[in-house]
Amino acid sequence: MTATARLLIVGPQGSGKGTQGVRIAESYGIPVVSTGDIFRANIKEGTPLGQQVTAILDKGDLVPDELTSEIVRDRLSQPDAAQGFLLDGYPRNTAQVEHLESFLAERGEALDAVILLDVPREESLSRLSLRATEQGRSDDTPEAIGHRLDIYERETAPILEVYGAKGIVDRIDGVGSLDEITERIAKALAARGLRLAA
């Protein structure tokens, strides 16, 4: 049986979703599609897209929905995403959910599971301050961090209601060791019948 898994990982900044997303995607043999990574790569390379979004990322604001959704469409249309993918950081509000849902529906596809990494705000904040020291990300300033967490609570958390109504959300306790958390996610996905790549 071929493994197909169309997954979304959601969690506040600092929840560890990037790290866990990579681990889960590897075990399923599917690509990670992270909009944050795509934007950062473009900024680093100084592309026109990078120049367009750099100030937005530095402030911790959201890049316009149309632009972000177009980038995701292009990425998901590449051959390596035909058998599945793990989305990280998109969709981030209900308008993006609608966009993604209609794009997938056109292809006769739908998300199989939404992994919600549950981490208290204080824990996210302390992990982000640590990352700021270690990685020096330009959007890990105290102002931008607080702003991004507010946006998460106001705009991103509501997308879970939409997916919750479809019965595809797995709420995972995001506090613990890296391995423990990966194990929790893998168990939840296995319970949905999502098989690992052979």
Identity of the residue, 16 or 89, whose beta carbon is nearer to ligand AMP in the bound complex: 89
Identity of the residue, 61 or 118, whose beta carbon is nearer to ligand AMP in the bound complex: 61
Closest CA to 187 of 198, 197, 196: 196
At residue 194, what are phi and psi to the nearest 5 degrees?
Answer: -85, 115
Task: Please tell me which residue in 6, 17, 40, 184 is annotated as part of the active site.
Answer: 17
Query: Does residue 42 bind ligand AMP (CB under 6 A)?
Result: no
Query: Does residue 57 bind ligand AMP (CB under 6 A)?
Result: yes
Identity of the residue, 142 or 192, whose beta carbon is nearer to ligand AMP in the bound complex: 142
Question: What is the DSSP secondary structure assignment for residue 116, as one 8-state letter?
Answer: E
Residues 97-136, interacting with ligand AMP (CB under 6 A): none
Query: Does residue 160 bind ligand AMP (CB under 6 A)?
Result: no
Task: Please tell me which residue in 23, 59, 127, 131 is annotated as part of the active site.
Answer: 131
From residue 181, alpha-carbon distances to 3, 15, 26, 151 in Å are: 22, 11, 15, 25
Query: Does residue 12 bind ligand AMP (CB under 6 A)?
Result: no
Which residues 6+ apart lie within 8 Å of 47 measured at CB? Answer: none
Residue 121 among the catalytic residues: no
- CB 91 within 8 Å of CB 159: yes
The three-class DSSP label of residue 90 is coil
Closest CA to 81 of 19, 7, 16: 7
Active site amino acids? 17, 92, 131, 137, 148
Give the interface with ligand AMP as residue ranges (CB under 6 A). 13, 35-36, 39, 56-57, 60-63, 68, 89-90, 92, 96, 139, 148
